[in-house]
A and B are shown apart, each in its own frame.
Chain A
């Protein structure tokens, strides 16, 4: 711990704004009608070599293991290949609370794993009824097994991505059950043949989030269409590391699109969280957006891109050395997280990275980043 910086110690609350639940093999099979959906239900299957993988609607999910729990493994690069090898700290809620205690984390905002780090898995299905059934099972499970167990878990729902009426119906149902955020893939038109996310057809979704006071959560990595491909010759361990660097970098595209989409203008009270973005490129992106906006003499906006961002958007930090003194990206727009239990998580060295990352940040701003901003967004008191 760094000398002379006891303030974080005194901040008794840490809210991790980006963590991932690990869905156990029964999440969907226990909740979806076997007679109606049969083998299309998301489930794990054993292969001849004893390893297991997830399949949905006959397709094997492109996951490097049966769960993503790198932070809990001796070798963070080898994801568990059989369910018996998945650490209980990741998927048993009571155990998970212990992991949070070990890291000093008071509240954890939850994103999925099998359902997609950005909630994109079921968006790929071209059967809307199956998509809805899978989504609802996930949302119900998260309330029943996690949120009901402890208020320290902050549940966020996934949604059928299109049409907007279907998304809205599920958002309303989920929020009523206790969900506090809405996870949506940032570039849905690269996942399935649906309209461009900037299209007013989606306005109903943004309006609903705004009205219900739940943030819209665009987690990095929903689309490979904005990431350079990884050479197939790269070793899987190194490729996983590269992927962990490319994913937050690709969120640049998600942010830039939202800034120019005019969605923020139409819904000035909508809050948008770019989870697993890092903050390292934030100031650059916002300054560049303003610069280009002025050079192109962009018409049709009431505010500059950085001003809309300041009013409505958030980036997340976990290991970054945060700079709030250079303008464009301030403490009001940064959420701290651990990314537990992904391989790129700071867990179990949470405190070390908090101290290192925020060592140059004034105390009042640390509190905003570590918990106050998230407490406001998720109404945690």
Chain B
């Protein structure tokens, strides 16, 4: 891939066509359980929604407000498939949107429908995950400007999980997407630091693909201040979203002190859509506790901040304060994200926002954060 613009989005979201699952899953085997778009009634109005395993997903038929028309910040969501902009879900149109926004490449995270572990059927989950991963592989086959991340089946056994990661990576995927702390999201799932997951980490390390934790990654409504009835929907959204930005301040220390990062020292972890401004806390707090408690006596021979430098990557989009603290975070660990086509996206004025945010930063440091770190991490050069 040739770098033309000097900007890579390390966190964007796929939007799949409405037939993405119906054309890949066997109708004979799965019948109406296959994820598809159907008409339904909401607030006395006919709307279209995704239905998965017979359960209607009560949210926009495509989460793509940034691709919708209108002034920023755009917060309109399509209610019918015909309203979904083609520049969200048609690869060739999406490439044009990338050019319009002067972005070289984008790392693709999931979009609704996802979370196929919710349906408690390992075979069904695997079929959906494989269809999803295949659809993204096809995007990548069409253009290497799309950098796909694989979903991982969580319900089945370890062999099936590892096999799917290997299959997806062989078809172009450059990472996996994971729950932040599985046992907090789904009762019965193993804790993120449990040895149960070691084969998955070992596989990713061996294949050279990072693990991705996106936003609250399953913790959002599990570990949070309970919802207050007195909020308007907008107030609630802000109150609920903002503290989730600091989840890396808890998740990374856990990965350090559980020994997971030390056991898999070549495995990289990416924390997306949680900003960068809590990693300086992680480095400072973990080093402090490590020193004060002399944790080398517990086998932690390496300084925690060195582990962070080696293995942890984070993305910025709005943070002026984070950019000012970039050296306390790690200049080689920071990437940029557009979040297209989600609501936080800066499309089609990304460069305006980028330049405002990195104003005053030396050009070689800008370059690292805007594309070089991502290009290196995902091996796109």
Contact = CB atoms under 8 A, between A and B. Distances in A.
A196 B246 contact: no
B243 interface: yes
A306 to B, nearest CB: 10
Contact of B229 (A196, A228, A323): A196
A248 to B, nearest CB: 7
Given A283-B321, A289-B238, A250 B284 contact: no
B253 A256 contact: no
Interface in B251-297: 251, 253-254, 257-258, 275-278, 280-282, 284-286, 288-290, 292-293, 295
A283 B224 CA distance: 21
Nearest to B236: A260
Contact of B194 (A196, A231, A287, A320): A231
A225 B243 CA distance: 13
Contacts of A77: 293
B223 A226 contact: yes
A256 B242 contact: yes
Given A238-B298, A284-B246, A323-B325, A293 B320 contact: no
A234 B253 contact: no
A332 B254 CA distance: 32
Interface string B291-331: 01101001010000000000000000011111011001000
B49 to A, nearest CB: 23
B285 A196 contact: no
B1 interface: no
Nearest to B251: A228
Given A256-B239, A344-B289, A241 B295 contact: yes
A237 B293 contact: yes
A228 B250 contact: yes
Interface in A232-247: 233-235, 237-242, 244-246
B234 interface: yes
B336 to A, nearest CB: 15
A253 B321 contact: no
B191 A231 contact: yes
B219 interface: yes
A252 B243 contact: yes
A288 B242 contact: yes
| Interface range, A side | 35 or more
Contacts of B369: none
B223 A241 contact: no
B320 A327 contact: yes
Interface string B162-186: 0000000000000000001101100
Interface string A182-217: 000001011000001011100000000000000000
A327 B322 CA distance: 11
A148 to B, nearest CB: 33
B195 to A, nearest CB: 8
Interface string A26-66: 00000000000000000000000000000000000000000
Q: Among the interface residues B289, B318, B344, which one has the most CB atoms of the partner chain A within 10 A?
A: B289
B293 A240 contact: yes
A360 to B, nearest CB: 11
A280 interface: yes
B246 A252 contact: yes
Given A245-B289, A284-B319, A328-B321, A250 B343 contact: no
Contact of A300 (B235, B245, B281, B292): B235
A76 to B, nearest CB: 5
A376 B218 CA distance: 43
B71 interface: no
Given A253-B225, A288-B275, A321 B284 contact: yes
B298 A281 contact: no
B234 A238 contact: no
B73 interface: yes
Interface string B200-243: 00000000000000000001000111101111101101110111
Interface in B119-137: none
A259 B250 CA distance: 21
B269 to A, nearest CB: 15
A257 B253 CA distance: 23
Interface in B76-106: none
Given A260-B238, A284-B245, A237 B298 contact: yes
A228 B286 CA distance: 16
Given A187-B225, A231-B258, A295-B73, A285 B293 contact: no
Contact of B234 (A234, A239, A298): A298
A326 to B, nearest CB: 4
Given A228-B250, A281-B246, A198 B292 contact: no
B193 interface: yes
B242 A285 contact: yes
Given A245-B289, A284-B277, A297-B234, A235 B242 contact: no
B7 interface: no
Given A228-B250, A238-B295, A280-B284, A321 B328 contact: yes
Nearest to A248: B285
28 contacts: A187-B225, A190-B225, A198-B230, A226-B223, A228-B250, A231-B194, A233-B194, A235-B298, A242-B254, A242-B258, A242-B289, A249-B253, A252-B243, A252-B278, A259-B239, A260-B242, A280-B281, A284-B246, A285-B243, A287-B321, A288-B245, A292-B241, A296-B238, A297-B234, A299-B235, A319-B288, A326-B320, A343-B292
Interface of B: 73, 75, 180-181, 183-184, 191, 193-194, 219, 223-226, 228-232, 234-235, 237-239, 241-243, 245-246, 249-251, 253-254, 257-258, 275-278, 280-282, 284-286, 288-290, 292-293, 295, 298, 300, 318-322, 324-325, 328, 343-344
Given A261-B239, A283-B321, 20 more contacts: A77-B293, A187-B225, A190-B226, A198-B228, A235-B298, A240-B293, A242-B258, A249-B246, A249-B249, A256-B225, A256-B243, A278-B285, A284-B276, A285-B243, A288-B275, A293-B238, A319-B288, A326-B320, A326-B324, A326-B325
